[in-house]
């Protein structure tokens, strides 16, 4: 009988502790995840690169968005203060971190359809290096304050 009482008392304490943790909810929730790419356009190539952004990239991003792979995408200009800073910032917004599971497979199918094949898409990517340098990228997550 004492053993049953101890088990019930322990269960009650654990339930109360769990409820206490649930009552102390975070003052925010996880929001969308954004991939931010920092681009340095090579001298004299800004218009050529922006033509690519306005055509091939726009077509691809719009297809990703239509397929539900991404939520949105944006292009920002930046004032580089030194030669090592970007003058263009590209963002792609995903619903959450789970959106990255199997992302390559979902994107490759759309990329092959838009570009004609993955080999053509890879060749075009190499060609873009003549116009720009990718300084780096990062993932950031929006925190939605309650």
Q: Which tens digit of pLDDT belongs to each residue from 85-98?
A: 999 999 999 999 99
Can you name the residues that pair with 136 across neighbouring β-strands?
38
What pTM does this model have?
0.80
Instruction: Give Cα separations from 14 to 3, 11, 23, 26 (angstroms).
Output: 17, 5, 14, 20
Over 70: is that where the pLDDT of 64 sits? yes
Q: Which domains does the chain have, with CATH numbers?
A: 28-145 (3.30.70.100)
What distances in angstroms separate CA 6 from CA 9, 10, 51, 78, one per listed residue?
5, 6, 73, 65
**What are the pLDDT digits (tens) for 34-63?**
999 999 999 999 999 999 999 999 999 999
């Amino acid at each position: 009988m004492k053993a049953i009482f101890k088990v019930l008392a322990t269960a009650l304490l654990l339930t109360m502790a769990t409820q206490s943790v649930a009552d102390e909810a975070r003052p925010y929730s996880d929001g969308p995840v954004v991939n931010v790419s920092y681009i340095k356009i090579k001298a004299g190539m800004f218009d050529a690169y922006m033509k690519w952004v306005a055509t091939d990239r726009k077509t691809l991003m719009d297809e990703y968005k239509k397929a539900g792979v991404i939520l949105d995408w944006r292009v920002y200009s930046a004032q580089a203060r030194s030669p090592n800073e970007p003058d263009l910032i590209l963002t792609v917004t995903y619903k959450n971190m789970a959106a990255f599971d199997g992302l390559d497979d979902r994107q490759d199918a759309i990329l092959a359809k838009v570009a004609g094949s993955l080999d053509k898409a890879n060749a075009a990517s190499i060609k873009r290096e003549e116009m720009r340098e990718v300084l780096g990228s990062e993932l950031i997550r929006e925190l939605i304050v309650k």
